[in-house]
Chain A
Amino acid sequence: MRDSEISIWFFIGISLLVNGILITGAGVWQVIHPPENPVVLFNLHANVWWGALLFVLGLGACIHFAPKRNA
C-alpha cells in the first residue's frame, strides 16, 4: 500500500474503540439498573468485560496504526 494511505487497521481500531465504549457503557448501566428480563448468564456481565476488551484492542490499534506514525 502507499505510505500516505491510512491503514485499514486504524479504521478497525476506531470501530473497536467506539463499540467498546458503547458496549461497556451499556453493560455498566445494566449493572446499576438491572433489567426485568435479563439474558441468560446475565450475572457474568459479558457486555462489561467484552466491551472493555474491544476498547483496549481498539485503543492499541489506533495508537499503533495512527496516520502520523504510518506516514
Chain B
Amino acid sequence: MMPTIAAFAASRLVHLSAVDSVIIAFYFVLVLAIGWYLKGRANTGEDFFMAGREMTAWIAGLSFLSANLGSLELMGWAAAAYQYGILATHWYWVGAIPAMLFLALVMMPFYYISKTHSVPGYLKLRYGEPARALSAISFAFMTVLMSGINMYSMALVLKVVLGWDIHFSIWVSSATVAIYVALGGLRSAIFNEVLQFVFIWAGALLIPILGLVETGGWSNLKQQIARNASAEYTHLWATLGSFQDNPMGIHWTGIVFGLGAIISFGYWTTDFLVVQRVLSAKDLRSAKMAPVIGAAFKMMVPFIVILPGLLGLAVLPVKLMGETQAVASGGHSYNEVLPLMLARYCGPGLLGLGITALIAGFMSGMAGNVSAFTTVWTYDIYRALIRKNAEDSHYVSMGRWCTVIGVIISVLTAYLVMQFKSIMDYVQALFSFFIAPLFATVVLGMLWKRVTAAAGFWGLLAGTLSSIGMWAWVKVDPSALRYVALSPYARDMAENMYRALWSCLICALVTVVVSYMTEPKPEHELRGLVYGATDIPHEVHVSLFHRPAFWAAVVSVVFVIVNILVW
C-alpha cells in the first residue's frame, strides 16, 4: 500500500495559507490545553473512566454523537454518497435513529441503574464472567482495529489533501490524542469531542450551503445528478425493490432488517464506544435524554456529509473513481470528494477551518476508541482476569498507561489496515462479527428473565463464530453469496447486512434453546438488570418538555417526514 500512498503524494489538492496553518495549530493547542486543564480532575477511577458521572444531557448527547463522527463518517460517507447516491443516507437515518431512541427509552435504564462501568460489565452482572470475557476481548480487539482505521484514513487524507508526510500525520495526531486522554481521562475525551463537534459543523456546513447556491437548489441538483449519473442516485427507498435497480446492489429487506434492525441496534445500543458517553450522564433522565439529543443531530449530519458527495456528482468537472483505478490513471478517487469540494468553495481561513474539521473528526473517533478500549481493558480484562483487588489509584494509573499503549497499538494497526482495499466494507464486516450477535445477547438479557448465564455465553459465541464463518465461506467460495446475501447480485455492503442479520438470529436462537435447557437465575439476582425485575423511576413529576419520551416522539415524527421527502 505504501507505493499507493506515494503515488497520491505526487499532487496535493490544496495549498494552505499562513492563516490556515494558524487555525490548525490553534486547534491542536486548544485540545492539549483542555487536557492539561482537566488533568487534576481525573484522580479516581470514577473520574478517569466515567467522567465522574457528572455530564449534562447536552454534553453527553453531543459527545455520544461526536465519538461516532470520525474519519469514516466525514470522508467515507461523502465518498459513498458520490458512489452510491443518497442511499448512503440510510446509515444515518434508518440505520441510526430508531436504535438511538430504543437505547434512550428501553435500554438506558438498565445500563444506568445497574451502575455498570461498561457493556461487558453489564454482561458480567447479567450472565457472569465468561460472557464478559468473550465480549471484552472481542471489543478490545475491534476497538484498536477501528482506531487504526481512523489513523489510516486521517493520514491518507492529509497526504492527499495537504501533501503531509503520512508518518508525521499519524504520530502527531496520535500523540495529541494520547496526551489529552491520558491526562484527563474520559472527561477530557468528552470535552474535546464536544469541541470537535462544533469544529466539524463550523468547518463543513459551508460546503452544502454554497453547493446548493451554485446548483440552484435541490430540484436543480437532482436534475444535474440525473444528467451526470442517474436519477436513481436521489431516491432513498424507491429503488430498493430489487438488488439490480440501485447503485448499491441491495434490497430493502437488507436495509430494514440487516442495517436498521440488527447492525444499527447492535452498534448504537451495545458498542461501548458510544454507550460509555451516555453512562457518564449525571442522572437517569440525562442518560435517557442524551441519545435523543444525539439522534436529533444525527438526522442532520447527512447535510454536511451526504449532500457534499451528491453535490460532487453535479458540479465537479472531473469524474471520481475507485482507489485502484485512481492510482493507475492518476485521477481522483471517491474518497477525495469532500476535500475537492472544500477546495472548490473555501478560500484562506475557511480552508483551514475545513481541514481542522476533518482532523477533529479523525481525532474524536480515535479518542473515542482509545478511551473505550482503556476502560474495557482496565475494568473488564485487567481487573477481572489479571489483578482483582488492587487500589483504585492503581487502576487509574493502569488507565493512563493503557491509553498510551492503546494508541501505540492503534498506530501499528494503522499500518496493517493499509493492506485492505476498502475501509468501509472492512468496518462493516467487523461490526457484523462482534456487534450484531452482542445486540441479541444484551437485549434478550434485558427483556427476558428466563435467559440463563450459560445461554448468554453460548449464544454470543455461536453468533460471533457463525458470522466469521459466513465471511470466510464467501471469501473461499464467492458463489456462496447467493446463500448468505440471498442473491448472487448482492454487493459487499449487502453481504454485510445479511451476515449481521443471520448471526444475530443464530445468537438469539442458541440463547433461547440453551436457556430452556439450563436453570435460570433467581429473580432477586436480576434486580436492576432485567425488565420485570427492576423498578424504573417514572417521570410523572417532570413537565412534558423535559421528558425524553416526548422528544423521542418529536424526533420520530421528523424522521418519518424526512424519509418521505426523499423517498
Residues of A within 8 A of B (CB): 1-2, 5-6, 8, 11-12, 14-16, 18-19, 22-27, 29-30, 35, 38-42, 44, 46-47, 50-51, 54
Contact = CB atoms under 8 A, between A and B. Distances in A.
Given A15-B198, A40-B214, A26 B347 contact: yes
Contacts of B405: none
Contacts of B54: 1-2
Given A11-B30, A12-B198, A15-B27, A44 B59 contact: no
B23 interface: yes
Interface string B347-375: 11110110000000000000000000000
A33 to B, nearest CB: 11
Contacts of B17: 26
Interface residues of B, number: 36
Contacts of B116: none
A46 B345 contact: yes
B195 A42 contact: no
B202 interface: yes
Contact of A14 (B30, B282, B352): B30
B133 interface: no
B206 interface: yes
B350 A40 contact: no
B213 interface: yes
A50 B347 CA distance: 12
Contacts of B344: 39-40
Contacts of A30: 347-348
B175 interface: no
A16 B198 contact: yes
21 contacts: A8-B191, A11-B191, A11-B195, A15-B26, A15-B27, A15-B198, A19-B23, A22-B22, A22-B352, A23-B349, A26-B347, A38-B347, A39-B343, A39-B344, A41-B210, A44-B210, A46-B206, A46-B345, A46-B347, A47-B349, A50-B206
A27 B198 contact: no
Contacts of A16: 198, 202
Contacts of B30: 11, 14-15
Given A39-B344, A40-B214, A51-B349, 7 more contacts: A2-B54, A12-B194, A12-B195, A26-B19, A47-B346, A47-B349, A50-B206
B321 interface: no
Contacts of B37: 6
Decide if the interface of chain A is mainly helix, strand, loop or mixed.
helix
Interface centre among A29, A44, A46 (most CB of B within 10 A): A46
Contacts of A18: 26
Interface centre among B198, B210, B353 (most CB of A within 10 A): B198
Contact of B347 (A5, A14, A27): A27
Contacts of B206: 46, 50
B19 A8 contact: no
Interface of B: 17, 19, 22-23, 26-27, 30, 34, 37, 41, 54-56, 59, 191, 194-195, 198-199, 202, 206, 210, 213-214, 282, 315, 343-350, 352-353
A39 B55 CA distance: 42
B43 to A, nearest CB: 13
Given A1-B55, A1-B56, A19-B353, A47 B347 contact: yes
Contacts of A8: 59, 191, 194-195
Contacts, number: 94
Contact of A15 (B59, B199, B343, B347): B199
B347 A35 contact: yes
Contacts of B315: 40
B202 A27 contact: no
A15 B202 CA distance: 11
Contacts of A42: 347
Interface centre among B56, B59, B345, B352 (most CB of A within 10 A): B345
A22 B346 CA distance: 14
A40 B19 contact: no
Given A15-B30, A35-B347, A47-B350, A22 B202 contact: no
Contact of A41 (B194, B214, B348, B352): B214
B24 to A, nearest CB: 11
Contacts of A38: 347
A23 B24 CA distance: 12
A55 B245 CA distance: 47
Nearest to A1: B54
A27 B420 CA distance: 41
B195 A15 contact: yes
A26 to B, nearest CB: 4
A22 B26 CA distance: 11
Interface centre among B54, B202, B315 (most CB of A within 10 A): B202
A62 B194 CA distance: 16
A25 to B, nearest CB: 7
A11 B199 CA distance: 12
A53 to B, nearest CB: 9
Nearest to B55: A1
A42 B4 CA distance: 34
Contacts of B34: 11
Contacts of B348: 26, 29-30, 47
Contacts of A44: 210, 213
A15 B196 CA distance: 10
A50 B345 contact: no
Contact of B345 (A14, A22, A25, A41): A41
Contacts of B22: 22
Nearest to A12: B198
Contacts of A12: 194-195, 198
